[in-house]
Structure 1
Amino acid sequence: MTTPKIAIIIGSTRQTRFADKPAAWLKGIVAGRSDASYEFLDLRDYPMPFFDEVASNAYAPTQNEVAVRWQHKLAEFDAYIIITAEYNHAPTGVLKNALDYAYPEWNKKAVAFVGYGSVGAARAVEQLRTIAIELQMAPIRTSVHIQGADFMGAWQQGAALEDMAHLQPGVTALLDELTWWGSALKTARDAGRASTPMVTDEA
């Protein structure tokens, strides 16, 4: 299988966000892996307005320049890990907006989730799985939930996620599964493009 390129998306933009802690934790973990390449995408770097286009870019070109830049960046990747908070049993508004601003860029690619909060963003992740399916993505089975004492310890008591060995098996399983699906779907997309006949002007 081919080596996939994976984006890790930081799905919160609040100044006091917790997301930087799991992002730093994941950065240390993926640095030791050679079965995929990884890049972090911070939604702070893509300050898109609330969706205000004629239609999804599945049907009409997007006009907002930042959103177009976001789409072009997403298109570079074969799979995604989304780091998500949970607000009122749902993903953050800025993350939902970012998902809505692209469509073909997400299609036929794998996605995984790392959630944090009192219940590890479990309810937000369930919603994100449904959204991902509508975007023609393949959400993998394994997700990571930083919850309860782990979340409170890292958030308020200075505990390090790196020291929580019980979280490591879940992260390893997530990365293994996502790499497999990312590679498999990349191979399938490439094969589909290769089998598509070229259109010419010849009669």
Structure 2
Amino acid sequence: MTVISVIVGSTRQGRFSEKPAQWILGRLKKRDGVEARLLDLRDFPMPFFDQPVPPAMPGRAPYENEVVQKWTSEIAQSDGFVFVTPEYNFGPSAVLKNAIDWVYPEWNRKAAAFVSYGGAAGVRSVQQLRETAIELQLAPIRSSVHIPAASLWAHFQGGDVDAGLAELDGVSEAMIDDLLWWTAALKTARTRAS
């Protein structure tokens, strides 16, 4: 079974991110051999990273914070990821970047895809996350889903968000196809290396 975790990258009140996260989770659950899970950052209220030793330091002891330990365990159990990210001021949310920064080896050599929204449909947020992913030895795939502003505004105005997301079904299927291909390839390589 391949475990794909959908990470909800916003914790704001009245956030939009729950809707695209649930939508992409539902699409993943329709795939054979995939266990799709939702990792909502509201369930992982981590402090800002403040440790003297970075997560990439070889031989470091596990961090003592229980929420960080739970988060790290969830990342370790995952084979691939879909980051659902807003764009705040040309980048991802601080809470998402912080959650990413608490972990290192558990991200390594796994595939990552992106669903974004916000300014410029979140494209600039995804671009920054791709660079971060590479530093973490994640493999960001080329395909992604960028949600148009009309769906975001529908959320704030009580409109039909689901109809807007449904228009992206084809794009989401192409992204999931790519994510699962890379996830399988990297999982096979990790198994051979261990």
Is residue 2:2 matched to residue 1:4? yes
* 3-state DSSP of counterpart to 2:112: strand
Is residue 2:162 matched to residue 1:161? yes
1:140 paired residue number: 141
Is residue 2:12 matched to residue 1:14? yes
TM-score normalised to structure 2 length: 0.93
Q: Percent identity?
A: 47
* 3-state DSSP of counterpart to 1:41: strand
| 1:31 positional shift | 2.8
Q: State the AA in 2 paired with 1:189.
A: R
What whole-Å deviation, never above 9, does each CA across 1:152-186 have from its counterpart, x for those lacking one? 23432411334554311110011111011101100
Q: Which runs of 5+ in 2 are unaligned?
A: none
* Count of aligned pairs between the two proteins: 191
2:82 paired residue number: 81
Correspondent of 1:39 among 23, 37, 40:
37
* 3-state DSSP of counterpart to 2:124: helix
1:152 paired residue number: 153
Q: Which runs of 5+ in 1 are unaligned?
A: 194-203
| 1:4 positional shift | 1.9
RMSD of Structure 2 on Structure 1 (CA): 1.5
Q: State the AA in 2 paired with 1:14.
A: R
Q: Distance in 2 between matches of 1:46 and 1:149?
A: 30
TM-score normalised to structure 1 length: 0.89
* 3-state DSSP of counterpart to 2:183: helix
Q: Which has the larger radius of gyration?
A: 1
Which deviates more from structure 2 when the two are superposed, residues 158-167 or residues 63-72? 158-167
Q: Distance in 2 between matches of 1:77 and 1:27?
A: 14
* 3-state DSSP of counterpart to 2:14: coil
Q: 1:109-188 maps to which residues of 2 (within 5 A)?
A: 109-162=110-163, 164-188=165-189
Q: Is the 8 A contact 1:110 1:139 kept in 2?
A: yes
What whole-Å deviation, never above 9, does each CA across 1:123-155 have from its counterpart, x for those lacking one? 000000000000001000001011222322343
